[in-house]
Chains A and B, each alone.
Chain A
Amino acid sequence: MTTGPHHKVSQGTSRVWLIGGIVVAAIVAAPILAIAWIAMFPSENIWPHLISTVLPRQIANTAMLMLGNGIGVLVIGVTAAWLVTTCRFPGRPIFEWALLLPLAVPAYIVAFVYTDIFEFAGLVQTSLRALFGWQSAKDYWFPDIRTLGGAMFVMSSVLYPYVYLLARATFQEQSVCMLEASRVLGRGPWRTFFTVALPLARPAIVVGLALALMETLADFGTVDFFAVNTLTVGVFNVWLNMGNAGGAAQISLVTLAFVLALLALERVGRRGQRFHHTSTRYRPMPPFELRGLRAAGAITVCALPIIAGFIVPALVLSRHAIVHFEESWTPAFFGFARNSILLATCAAAGAVALAIFLAYGRRIAGHTVFGALSRVAMLGYAVPGAVLAIGVIIPLARFDNAVDLLARDVFGVSTGLLLSGTVFAVIFAYIVRFLAVALGAVEASLTKIRPTMDMAARTLGSGPGETLRRVHLPLVRSSVLAAATIVFVDSMKELPATLILRPFNFDTLATHVFQFASDELLEQSALAALTIVIAGVVPVILLSRAIRSAHPAGRAPSFYSEPLPAQAGVGD
């Protein structure tokens, strides 16, 4: 992402935006800061024990998992995006949207499904044994699904859409001019891809990669299920088994340091580079027509991730849902679905509104404090939901108790807990957790708008607010919608924070699934799990259609980057 110069406005207006932005950013960053605060009060120093026992392995496993998932999502996401944007082959229009479907499937459900299929007692190995007459595990070799490799497989197959989405939008925007120049200079399609298209798409791909890796760090359900001992498992061990929340918070902070280090490394790597277009002419690229074996290869490459990340899990869930329909159907089901959709909608609206406010505030009012606070707020995406929930409770409960104390002192009445234990707490947690997605999208999109646009609008007499409304919002509208969709889908799937923060007698689809899953009866909640998937599929398809009509030459939307006619963009 390139950062533009600040489009300075009058001191007074600027100060209002700056203060407002800092307050908002501070509120959103509060849960993360609260985790840092708990980290200062461990019940005992956990590190000597950890370093001498499990920590080296946990760090190694975490690093391997991030590496494996990183490579997995990059290879799948970038390849698929390149194929569907630049090539023509049978089925391409379907793959274009179907490649997004795994986004709607929670990783813990995919983990469950694949264990069911691939474990020793699963369908595949049972059939193999029956076929070849093997008696026990000693008679043959079969890869164990409950391993690091299994976790990489499962997580890559649901996380790649982040990279796919961003890479595709960027490839779509790349004008033929640069790629043609490359071809004229004698480079073949492969070399053009590796030496021109890929490096140009790097900023967008890195955003997608960062999101996927942050999800990887935050995941507990999958690694727990696959018995992979990662740092996140360590966090929960120290917290729940050793009763040392402070020590657990310290480990959490270490994992966040991982994220910051990666992001910083990437920034250093592309210092001084520019990614905007150099020509104002845009012409779409003529597609590569693929035939025969090449077409078959492209189809395979695009179909496999969809089969792995969506079709197989959806089929297995459907089977369970049908078999157990009578046990699982309850009239309360509509209530759960309504709660899920309500919470997810509020979270999507809230996250996007805050993202616009923060990104635009930073654009017009400078970015030192602002930038730092919004970076901290974005870290919510890399924190396990249950840990973040504790981070959310702390500031909310402090606030509530302070208000209560004040009210008692002044009016002699108790206000009790105003925010803690309400759906507001849950929505707030979602916003904090998923702000990274929304902010990334809006910021990237805003930086593509030439500063001269701001200047023109301001010269014509619009204040910053009106400029935002009349110039920027229409231009970033589609990115905003895309961001809202992803926050919505992610919120529908969110489980651990919802469990801890929700009010009494309140269930969402995810919590309903969990009460059975946690009693080792996931089959009975397959219906609810399937509903989560379906509720996610609908917006994902809508999003995909929006991207499909996107074209830099047209006025249509694209994700994470606003399709202005190619232009001299903002520089570093």
Chain B
Amino acid sequence: MKPVVKKTALASIVVAGIAVATAMAAEEASLNVGEVNVYSYRQPFLVQPLFEAFTAQSGIKVNVLFAKTGLVERLKQEGANSPADLIFTVDVGRLSEAYAAALTQPVVSPALAAAIPDIYREPDGHWYGLTRRARIIYASRDRIAPNEAPKTYEELADPKWRGRICTRSGNHVYQVGLTAAMVAHYGEARTEAWLKGIKQNLARKPQGNDRAQVKAIKEGECDIALGNHYYYVLMQQNKEQAAWAKAVYPVFPTIGGSGTHVNISGMALTKASPNQENAVKLMEFLAGPMAQQMYAEQNYEYPILDGVPETSALKAMGPMISDSLPLADISRHRSAAIKLVDKVGYND
């Protein structure tokens, strides 16, 4: 006698699996005509309007997969058969990781070279920056006079700020980016001392996201916080958070006497890209004036392209001069940075 029930159960699962796989295969087949596939570390609701504009202009459909982790590994394992054409990231770390794992290919495009300054792309064209996100200081409007606010990141380690600073976890990519920039400017030993100094000045154990740091200033837990610049505008527009933004003013500090530390959101063409031509079209579109302006208007990031009119919200925050060190150089020090964070016990 046969195990009928189990067989039936297994059979139905197999059938369901096949049905699903067929459906997927059918979908995949349709993916190959006039489409481009993106693995994105950026939230879809931020990039979707840009993709829609691109589709409207070119007729090419954009398929998106969003995840916060693991896309580089997925790409690596899928190998030559990977459907992905482009990787989108919110920081330079993932771009250099994909490049280091030999998952990208160089794009030689005069349009991209013209639009994107050298310091925001990989020299051979393995990755390109799209927008700049400045890591700035938020200072309490009530408790810190504008002339007393720290003008450099280095000053944050000054003992006069003891018990007055809030930051998020030292392991977060944005904090790691800043720490890596310090290593690039000053080397590991001085960066370690700097991290120790900030740790001693912390009002509380590192926790929460960028907005939460500003909220803590509003509530009087601390007077100074680090955060990405665009949250200032986003908070102003949020009914609950507008009060937090009102409690602070933004300061654009400098690093190593250069400018404000910026990270980039960026893109890279995958080595296995099946729709290369379309992918390069999308890359060029995103670096173009229309998309760059959309980026600035929607998420209040600084466009990478020169000559895009600044949005009034960003203008109101004051002038931003960014650090002139190439991001590829800063990114190399990420691993060293994270080890220093561990070493000084920054998160404890």
Contacts and interface: CB of A to CB of B under 8 A. Distances in A.
Majority-rule SS of A interface residues: helix
Contacts of B115: none
B144 interface: no
A511 B65 CA distance: 11
Interface string A387-407: 001100110011011001000
Interface stretch (B212-220, B287-295, B300-308, B322-330): B212-220
Nearest to B238: A521
A484 B71 CA distance: 30
Contact of B2 (A147, A418, A463): A463
A513 to B, nearest CB: 12
B6 interface: yes
Interface in A366-414: 386, 389-390, 393-394, 397-398, 400-401, 404, 414
Contacts of B100: 243
A227 B347 contact: yes
B77 A397 contact: yes
A397 B79 contact: yes
A420 B77 contact: yes
Interface stretch (B23-31, B123-131, B312-320): B23-31
B83 interface: yes
Max count, chain B CB within 10 A of own CB: residue among A49, A136, A397, A463: A397
Contacts of B28: 416
B5 A515 contact: no
B219 A121 contact: yes
Contact of A146 (B10, B205, B209, B240): B205
A193 interface: no
A261 interface: no
Contact of B342 (A49, A416, A514): A49
Interface in A96-149: 115, 120-121, 126, 135-137, 144, 146-147
B209 to A, nearest CB: 5
A500 B40 CA distance: 11
Contacts of A521: 238
B221 A503 contact: no
B59 interface: no
Interface string B56-74: 0000000111111111011
A564 to B, nearest CB: 20
Given A421-B83, A422-B21, A424-B20, A353 B9 contact: yes
B54 to A, nearest CB: 15
Interface stretch (B102-110, B151-159, B169-177): B169-177
Given A389-B70, A424-B17, A241 B171 contact: yes
A419 B21 contact: yes
Contact of A519 (B9, B43, B71): B43
Contacts of B205: 144, 146-147, 227
Interface of B: 1-7, 9-10, 12-13, 16-17, 20-21, 24-25, 27-28, 31, 37, 43-46, 63-71, 73-74, 77-83, 93, 97, 100, 169, 171, 173, 176, 204-212, 215-216, 218-221, 231, 238, 240, 334-335, 338-339, 342-343, 345, 347-348
Pairs of residues from A and B, 5 with the lowest C-beta to C-beta distance, nearest first: A465-B3, A504-B63, A500-B70, A463-B1, A397-B77
